[in-house]
Chain A
Amino acid sequence: NAGVTQTPKFRILKIGQSMTLQCTQDMNHNYMYWYRQDPGMGLKLIYYSVGAGITDKGEVPNGYNVSRSTTEDFPLRLELAAPSQTSVYFCASTQRTDTQYFGPGTRLTVL
């Protein structure tokens, strides 16, 4: 199993550009999550999904959108990138509602 994979690893965006961060898991987990981690801070929840077709907002959803059309994939969309979205983004998944397993992250810079 590859676990949780994320692409791209790094990306630089200009203000106002859009992009999609990809997340895929091959463990057949129902629950998937997106977090962001700013320097010196813990992770904050952006969006989560309890299964295909079901998503919900987390603590910091503004400026982001998600979709979940399959069990495996949970992409995160940034529509109008802003400097405040410069961060490291982590995707996680789990089959239970307690522990979560994280991907390697996408490092995003918005200039």
Chain B
Amino acid sequence: QKEVEQDPGPLSVPEGAIVSLNCTYSNSAFQYFMWYRQYSRKGPELLMYTYSSGNKEDGRFTAQVDKSSKYISLFIRDSQPSDSATYLCAMKGRGADGLTFGKGTHLIIQP
């Protein structure tokens, strides 16, 4: 079983729809959870960051972490064509070592 599972998609939705992106993980030591957005041929851009369980909202984006289920989600409200990108979940435990990434979900918002 891979440490972080993420459906690669593609996920295609109409403009204005609510998008739900998810990851599951197996390592109970993960404490920090992030969502990155990556446009084609660009570097990952930090979108949302959550520590431990709970919700965090930033504009049209909401991140949820359920540590008991080892499940994290990213919701995008009022989706726009400019939201079309690959969304990578990432997580880590305490300490200075690197992030563990999912494979990324390719999201397409149809105008």
Interfacial residues, chain A to chain B (CB-CB below 8 A)? 4, 31, 33, 35, 40-45, 48, 50, 56, 58-59, 90, 97-105, 107
Contact of A43 among B46, B49, B96, B99 (CB under 8 A): B99
Interface stretch, picked from B55-63, B65-73, B74-82, B101-109, is: B101-109
Residues of B within 8 Å of A, CB-based: how many?
Answer: 27
Docked-complex contact B97 and A43, CB < 8 angstroms: no
Contact of A42 among B43, B45, B88 (CB under 8 A): B88
Given the complex of chains A and B, what is the CA–CA distance between A103 and B8 in angstroms? 23
Docked-complex contact B42 and A104, CB < 8 angstroms: yes
Given the complex of chains A and B, what is the CA–CA distance between A99 and B88 in angstroms? 13
Docked-complex contact B88 and A43, CB < 8 angstroms: yes
- Measured CB to CB, the closest approach of chain B to A18, in angstroms, equals 24
In the assembled complex, which residues on chain B have CB atoms less than 8 Å from the CB atom of A31? 96
- Measured CB to CB, the closest approach of chain B to A93, in angstroms, equals 12
Given the complex of chains A and B, what is the CA–CA distance between A2 and B4 in angstroms? 31
In the assembled complex, which residues on chain B have CB atoms less than 8 Å from the CB atom of A99? 32, 34, 46, 49
In the assembled complex, which residues on chain A have CB atoms less than 8 Å from the CB atom of B44? 43, 90, 102
Docked-complex contact B45 and A48, CB < 8 angstroms: no
Docked-complex contact A105 and B4, CB < 8 angstroms: no
> Known contacts A33-B99, A98-B34; can you find 17 more A-B pairs with CB under 8 A?
A4-B43, A40-B103, A42-B90, A42-B101, A43-B88, A43-B90, A45-B97, A90-B44, A97-B95, A97-B96, A98-B51, A99-B34, A99-B46, A100-B46, A100-B98, A102-B43, A102-B45
